[in-house]
Copies of this chain bind each other. A is one copy, B any other.
Amino acid sequence: MSAERLRQQLDFLVEIDRLKEIERQTRIVGGGRRENTAEHSWHLAMYALILAEHSNDDIDVLHVLTLCLVHDIVEIDAGDTFAYDASANTDKDERERRAAERLFGLLPADQAAFMWRLWEEYEAMETPESRFANAVDRMQPAMLNHVAGEASTWKEHAVTVPQAVKRLSPIGDGSATLWSHTQSIIDEAHRRGHIREE
């Protein structure tokens, strides 16, 4: 085990501390502040651990957890792109790819390649594990918005029912049970006026 290898690993682990400063749109349950991406990633991993039994397909839970922990690290350079902001989403791929090159490039080559594979797998949504990780990544902010009610980012950004359904329906590719529950959340938010008709 070379000292240089450990140094690269620790440099990466110090650098990704910055994920604690990346602000998302969603608000935490207590108090009014917005959630940061590091604590979101922890929460997501807990969603995956507790809800794994609801996956449509058999999944390797370790693999889902690593996808949850790693997939947002590129936001350190690329920032969080609000899911309902169409214009910001046009150059999201390019921004995130440059971020992955710099950040994963801090690691020894084998671990950089491991991070790249995880991130690309997550984005492609082609494996059962990435479909389930994507499902909880969409459900967790929906749950926070459900709890926030009047203070939801759906209301703040005047999100419509068709927009919410488009954003959240991929939950069904990971879990029919969780998508069914999320639909009931959308219905209730619509009834209460937190999500607009159109």
Contact = CB atoms under 8 A, between A and B. Distances in A.
A53 interface: yes
Max count, chain B CB within 10 A of own CB: residue among A17, A18, A51? A17
Interface in A97-123: 107, 111
Nearest to A185: B10
A151 interface: no
A143 B7 CA distance: 12
Q: Is the interface of A mostly helix, strand, loop or mixed?
A: helix
A14 B29 CA distance: 8
Contact of A42 (B1, B29, B41): B41
Contacts of A12: 50
Contacts of A164: none
B17 A144 contact: yes
B13 A143 contact: yes
Interface string A46-68: 11011101100000011001100
Interface residues of A, number: 46
B29 A18 contact: yes
A144 B20 CA distance: 13
A21 B13 contact: no
A159 interface: no
Interface of A: 1, 6, 9-10, 12-14, 16-21, 28-31, 35-36, 38-39, 41-43, 45-47, 49-51, 53-54, 61-62, 65-66, 69-70, 107, 111, 140, 143-144, 147, 177, 181
Given A1-B177, A39-B42, 6 more contacts: A13-B51, A17-B147, A38-B38, A45-B65, A46-B69, A65-B69
